[in-house]
Each structure stands twice: as C-alpha cells, then as structure tokens.
Amino acid sequence: MEDVPFKWRVSQIFGDKSSIEKIAEQDKISALEFDSTGNYIAVGDRGGRVILFQSNRISNESEEESDLEEEEFFNEEKEDEDEEENSKKKKGLQYKFYTEFQSHEPEFDYLKSIDIEEKINKIQWIKRRNRSHLLLSTNDQTIKLWKIFSKDTELVTELNIDQEEIEGINSPKDLVFPKVQVEEINKEAYNKRTYGNAHAYNINAISLCSDDEVFISSDELRINLWHLERTDKSFNIVDLKPDDLEQLSEVITCSQFHPSESSQFIYSLSKGIIHLGDLRQSAKCNNSVRSFEDEETSVNDSFFTEIMSNIADIKYSPCGRYILSRDYSTLKVWDVKMESKPVATLCVGDFSHSKLCELYENDFIFDKFECNWSGDGKYVITGSYENYYYLFDWKQNKGMLIDGSKTTKIYSKFYETNKQNENSNNIFETNNKLTYDSDNVDFSKKIFNISCNQYEPFIAVAATNILYLYNGKNDQKK
C-alpha cells in the first residue's frame, strides 16, 4: 500500500494563550467529547463548567427544525443563504460558541471530612430525540443529567394601525393581523436528574448503553448500573472491594459499554488487565467472560513496570471488534477474540531508567492520557507531553507525531515506524518507535484530553486551558 500524505490544518483555537504560571487552575480543561453527530463539542473544566460548541452546519436552532420556519422567510432570504452556504464550504467545518453552564459546585463531605472538587471528570452525550440536548457530566462523587434547550423570546410586531386611527376602520379589509416575531433565542441548561450517593470512591468513568436507557459509572473498586429515569437506586455489577483493604492489590481505572451489544462492557485494572463482562451471563460480573493481558509485560517485571502498565483509558472501536488501551508508554489494540496478546503495540514514550526515576519523583509517571478511535476505526490517537499528540494507522504500522500547539498549517504524512530518520522539532523514528527527544521535554505541557469527530477527519485537542481543533484531509493525487 502506498503512503498517503496527510495535510493537517489548525482550524480553530479557543482559549487564552497565557503562560502556564498565569493560568488559573479552574480554567484547565478536564473533559472533552464530541456528540454522536459530530455537530457539537462539550468541554468540561476544573471549575465545574461545561462549555458547548456548535458546528457551522447548524447555524441556529431554527435551521435544525426547518418546519418551524415560514416558507416566505426562506424565499425572501434565499440569496443571503446561498452566499452564506458558499462561505461555509470555503471555510470547511468550523465551530462556534453555543452555550455555557455551571454543572458542579465545590462541596464538603461531612462524614469523611473531605472536600469534593467541582472538576468535571467525564462527559457523555445522549442521542438527541428532539430539539433539546441531553448529556451526563460527573465530578468525583455526583453524576448529573443536563437538558440544554432554546427558549424563544417573542414580540408582537407590524401592527397595522395606531390607536388614533381606530375610528378610520370601515370594513374588515382594513384590518391586518399583527405578526409574532422571534426576537432572541436564549440557551438554557436545566439539571433534570442527579445520581448521587452510590460511590464511596472517586468516579473515573461513565458510559451510556447502546439502548440509550441505562449507563454505567465506575470508581476504583465498583461499577454501578443506572437507569436514566431512576435516581434513587443503582445496581452494583462489579465489586472488587476485599474484606480487608490491606489485601487490595488492584483497582478499576476505566470502563465502557459495547457500542452495539447492550449486555457487554469492558473495564480495565491498574495491573494492565482488561476484563470483558456480559450481563446475560451474570448480574454480577466479578468473574469476567474474557480477560486481556499482555504476557510479555507481565514477564518483564521491574519497579516501574506495574506503574507504567496502569491502564489510563480504554475505548471500543466503532464496530466493537477491537479494544484500544492506553498505558503510560504504549497504545495497544486488542482483538476481542484473542486474549493472549494485542494485535498491535504502539510506543508513545521511550524513557530511560534515569528519566523514569525523575518522572517518578515529580509524579509525572502517574499522568493519565486518554485515547480514541477515528470514525472509520482505521486510526488511533492519543496525547502526550510537550503538547504533542500521536496519530497511528495501526494496521499499516505507520504513525505521525504532531505538535498540538501549532497555530499554523501543518503538512504531515505517515512514516513507517521502522525507518531510522530524524525529523524536525526533536521528533525521531528509530528502533521501531516514533517518539521525541525525552531529554528536552517540558513535562508541564501535556495533552490529556482528545476526541475525534466520527464522520470527518476532525480532532479536538485540549492543551491545558486551550481547545485546538484540527482538520485533516487526504492529499493523495489520482
């Protein structure tokens, strides 16, 4: 297969590009998610806020529900709409601010005497059924269901006569009905339901089932199953808490429902193991149907092995056939039918022993990076340090390393990872690994959150408090 060049463009940038020292902690992005249509992006920050962005395919709510508009309006504005449509095609897919709301507030747990941060850990969109949007957001302890809707402000306009001319009306033909005109469309967020008091430890994941009726939430020791319509009760489907906490050897790090099978879900452990559970087999899935563990990693045991094998994130592929996992130094692609080893292992960090000691002393080795799939399942993507992110064609063993903070056009192409070639910006391809010069890395700059549009080559990247939107296009000549 011939190498297909990719042209990447920084489409848009949202946020204040200040130095890291000047950035307030509450302004740092902590969650990022595209909706299922790719038309909306949800961003959560450490201040408990959720910010929504809307694509230029949907300029306003009235365009989404065209049946609510009068035919005359479209006829009168046809020329303006054509010009606007042509402008959109030239610019390509772009997003604009839609609305913002406060999802969580700081709280205090009086029983445990601890502060509960307002930081948004995860966001999960719910498939749209009407004009309103629904999404789940969670901090460490409480999950909330939010309804975002438009509220129109209407005014009566175009009255046919003044009060002084009332006496001049001689026949019904002189009367003209006034028109009701929408003056302003306000976006409002309403906390529809709150799911709380079910987790004793910090929530690290929420995932909606394919039936859009139930979802799971997981903390370090338990996974609970919720119904969207019920807030008073949840069902515990995985419980790893031992009778004596001193015997605790592993914790849950992430979980996700299967994209199409409503009974199947996966969860990962701190020892680098992924379990697949099936609710058809048992209501409690402590004993998983399948377990995925890299035997080579388990054999090579060292002080840093267990820490680096801690799985930070897992994602099903869009088809549900593969599982993507991200630990500290590798991306792994698993086939759900093969448990013994991953079908692809991609290096995303090659650190020497001395560098690992430094990372351990500064707690950087405990950083957790998210991973994601492209909509077609061909590419996998994850963030890294120095505001770089990786994009791999995992089946062809090719990848690229992109500077996520670039503000200009980036012309990149895939390189085979077995080439020994040095590129610009301290990026190296050597010893079957695509990486950068770890001795000159600013570990304070990192990309934790990353999300992909499932219909177009469009990537949302969160670097500290800035949201970068990247648009990639094939540049293959026929």
Question: How do residues 337-373 score in pLDDT, each as one tens digit?
Answer: 999 899 999 988 777 667 888 888 888 889 999 999 9
Q: Three-state SS for 117?
A: coil
Alpha-carbon torsion angle 65, 67, 72, 75, nearest 10: 60
Question: So what's the pLDDT on residue 80?
Answer: 54
* 210 has pLDDT over 60: yes
> From start to end of 158-199, where are the E strands?
179-195
More confident residue, 238 or 387: 238
Q: Which residues pair with 468 in a beta bridge?
A: 13, 461
Q: What is the pLDDT of residues 238-284, one digit of tens each?
A: 999 988 888 888 999 999 999 999 999 999 999 999 999 999 998 89
Mean pLDDT, range 319-341, rounded to an integer: 93
Tokens of 339: 């448990």
Provide, rounded to the nearest whole percent, the portion of the chain with pLDDT above 90: 46
Cβ–Cβ < 8 Å for 39, 54: yes
- Is 307 exposed, middle or buried (CB count within 10 Å of its CB: 0-12, 13-18, 19+)? middle
Question: So what's the pLDDT on residue 435?
Answer: 59
């630990």: which residue's tokens?
327
Q: What is the pTM of this model?
A: 0.83
Give, rounded to a whole angstrom, the gap between the first and last alpha carbons of the chain. Answer: 14
Mean pLDDT, range 394-415, rounded to an integer: 68
Strands 133-138 and 122-126: antiparallel
